[in-house]
Structure 1
Amino acid sequence: MCSAVNGLALAPGETLSLNELVGERTAEKGFLPAPAITDGKDLTDELGGGICQLTGTLYNAALLANMEIVERVHHSWPSDYLPVGLDATLNWDNKDLKIKNTTQWPVYFSARFEEHIVDVAIYGQPSEYEIEIKSEIVEEYQEPKPQVIYTDELAVGKTVVKTKGRKGYVAEVRRNYLKDGEVIYSEEISRDTFHEIQGVVIRGADGKNK
């Protein structure tokens, strides 16, 4: 996956679509099953699962390189490898990451995966500004009380978590342009809502709970 991005050049005014670049994730292309979010609340193995680690890292690199974000979609819940609001998901048929080179010069991409870490760098002409990305949780919602489903298929009292409960958040991301340490300009990049998720627990019934 990183090999598709590594060495890529993007001309002035050109837009990169990560889905178009990588193509559909299939076993024939060497993609393996890995955990991916399904139905907005569960993790199941899918071909190309885990691709979003590259998607999110590329998204952050593009923000810092002052590129225009044409399209980006956040996950159903925050990723644990990036600050809240700075993730990006990818799905072949309906979710893409598209970034545009709005500078007057080509930009070049470096991407590598080593020891479970994705590293992406974007090279181009130096900017007169230093760019920083700020992520802030502006609202937080408590995790709902889990739903308990009783079954005879488990030993009495034994529980299995079917769906993990999660808090909800509203996260705001801004891109700041600094000169000599002072913020000259600030723009809102995104305001994402991550809805709280009710957990589901399967528990062995004892006769009283049926």
Structure 2
Amino acid sequence: MRSLKEIKKSAAKAAAVAFLLLGAVGVVSYASEADTAKTPFVLTFNTSTTGVFPRGVSYEGISLEGKTLEEAKSEISDYIEDRQSRYMVWNIVGNTYEYSASSFGVACTNAEIVSSLDNLTMSGNIVEQYKKQKDMDVNPVDLDLQFSLDTQTLHDTISEYTSTLSRTVSNASVKRENAQFVVTEAVNGIAFDTEAIYNELTGMINDFSTADPINYTFPYTETPATYTSADFAFSELPLGSFYTDGLGDKNRRNNISRAAEGMNGRIFYPGETISALDLYGAVTIENGYAEAPGYNQGRVEMVVGGGVCQVTTTLYNAVLRAELDVSYRKNHSMMVNYVYPGMDAMVAPQDNSDFKFVNSSNHPIYIEAYVVDDRICINIWGIEERDANRSVRFRTEILSVSWPETLYNIVVNDSECQVGEVRVNYKHKVEVEVHPALSCVSYKQIYIDGQLVEETELNRDNYKAASGLIYRASDCNVSASARPGNAGEAMVFPYIGWTIDISVTTPGGGEWPYYE
């Protein structure tokens, strides 16, 4: 059993420690030696630390020392709420979108861990508090709050924006309406790396060490359009323009109109090769074409799309006047009567024979094609860069002309021609026109201020001869002869100056009488 002196000494030591640790806030008292028998030693409580957390208690590295349990729980609740409602602004191609973290399922998944603080506040006398502090110094408590993030919702939301706001690059375009050009401005392309954006935003939202607002701009790649509205500031006049007349019967006219429709409004950029067959589309009955007379291996036959070669010829001449590069052109097997020899161009859908040219200018071109009355017209629009005093012309030199020995095969056909006393015009019908064999050379001429400064050979062409076909009535005879035409005279082949005389005689050889 300890002596009174030892008890006094032990009490004094404990009191000294308490004063050292707690700043002498508590009160330690003891009786004098003389009064020991009457007054027992009293160890009072440190009221300034009772009910608050000691050093070593924290959450997410934030100290709770000196806070009550209620204060700590309130602070931690605010901490969780700040992160769940964390404000964020997304800037996407100049548009802003606002969200809170809770929009993407951010929530504390272990909030109940706060209850583990219930027994960690200071209690008891100063010795007991001292011991608890010592324990906490050795084994501190730091609450690790866990948060969840709905990554699927975040990814889906990002994907919706990047998909909706992505843009495919689009050059400016133009349409001709009411004799005016209406230009649609170019659109720059925009592309996002959705996965990179998702990973970056996920990392920012998952940083729960801060509740500061997230301001995030979606990175993107912008691809500028190659051609803008400036490239469609077309000149007042076409670069090249041409028309041909004589569209023929209903089916042939239909085919010409259908081919013109296919090319009208088409835009081609510098360096592009243009195919006539591509412009026309499939030359088939299903695509709106009909059977009409056309050339096939030196003969006139009914073919689907008969007449599209007249469109091709008209296009070829417009291209020549626009001075675009011709990459492939072939003349008809037989001469046509709507342009000079050497100035025609053909296509043959049956064997993919085509007419092709290149937009060799520095700007886009626009093809305008339309049918009016008995005429097919084609204009090629663009930006004129040629000198105003410069012009181009074309000429054809005929090297030889020869007619077939039999100009026309003459067939009796009373269903096509009339028997009896009728006008001579009704006694016969030219079903197929005769074609001479012809060779020629064509030239391109350049004029400056109206003066010829350059002439270059364009084409050398040969055309086959072919007999024509005439139906006649059974009560007459028909014969034909070719000769050079006279000035002012209607000619069968005006571009070579030849005409055909057709005479109708009685069975006895007399001139057919004129009947009203």
Alignment of 1:61-210 (within 5 A): 61-92=318-349, 93-126=351-384, 127-128=386-387, 129-145=390-406, 165-198=434-467
Name the counterpart of 1:155.
none
- Are 1:144 and 1:196, in contact at CA under 8 Å, matched by a contact in 2? no
The 3 A distance-change label for structure 1 pair 130 and 144 is: same
Q: Residue type matched to 1:176 in 2? A: Q
Equivalent residue number for residue 272 of structure 2: 14
Q: How far 1:72 sits from its partner (Å)?
A: 1.1
Report SS of the residue matched to 2:311: helix
CA distance in 2, matches of 1:185, 1:149: 48
User: Given the two structures, how large is their TM-score scaled by the length of structure 2?
Assistant: 0.35
Q: Give the Cα–Cα distance (whole angstroms) in 1 for the partners of residues 408 and 316 of structure 2.
A: 36
Cα pair distance change 1:66/1:148, threshold 3 Å? closer
**Which runs of 5 or more structure 2 residues have no equivalent in the other structure?**
1-258, 412-427, 475-516
Q: 1:147 to 1:64 in 2, by over 3 A?
A: closer
Return closer, same or farther for 1:201/1:112 CA change in 2, 3 Å cut-off: closer
Amino acid at match of 2:435: R
Q: Could you tell me how far apart the structure 2 residues matched to 1:165 and 1:27 are?
A: 29
For residues 32 and 14 of structure 1, what CA distance do their matches in structure 2 show? 30
| Cα displacement (A) at 1:3 | 1.5
**Bigger Cα displacement from structure 2, 190-199 vs 2-11:** 190-199
AA aligned opposite 2:270: P
Shift, 1:138, TM fit: 2.0
Which residues of structure 1 form unaligned runs of 5+? 151-158, 205-210
* Conserved? CA contact 2:434–2:467, under 8 Å: yes
Structure 1 letter corresponding to 2:327: V
Shift of residue 195, structure 1, vs aligned partner:
2.3
Instruction: Provide Cα deviations, 1:154-195, integer angstroms capped at 9, x if missing partner.
Output: xxxxx9999754321112111111111122222211110012
- Opposite residue 298 of structure 2, the aligned amino acid is G
Higher fraction of helix: 2
Q: Which residue identity does 2:287 align to in structure 1?
A: K
Give aligned-pair identity as a percent. 28
Shift of 1:199: 5.7
More strand by share: 1
Change in 2 beyond 3 A, CA 1:163/1:113: closer
SS at match of 1:29: coil
Q: Does 2:312 correspond to 1:55?
A: yes
Kept in 1: contact 2:408–2:434 (CA 8 A): no
Between 1:117-126 and 1:54-63, the stretch displaced more is 117-126
Q: Normalization by structure 1: what TM-score?
A: 0.81
Count residues in correspondence.
Answer: 196
Distance 1:108 1:38 in 2: 32
In the alignment, structure 1 residue 25 sits paired with structure 2 residue 294: no
Consecutive aligned runs of 4 or more in structure 1 exceeding 6 Å deviation: 147-150, 159-163
Please tell me the residue identity of whatever aligns with 1:133. Answer: F
RMSD: 2.7
SS of the residue corresponding to residue 337 of structure 2 reads coil
1:119 Cα offset (Å)? 0.2
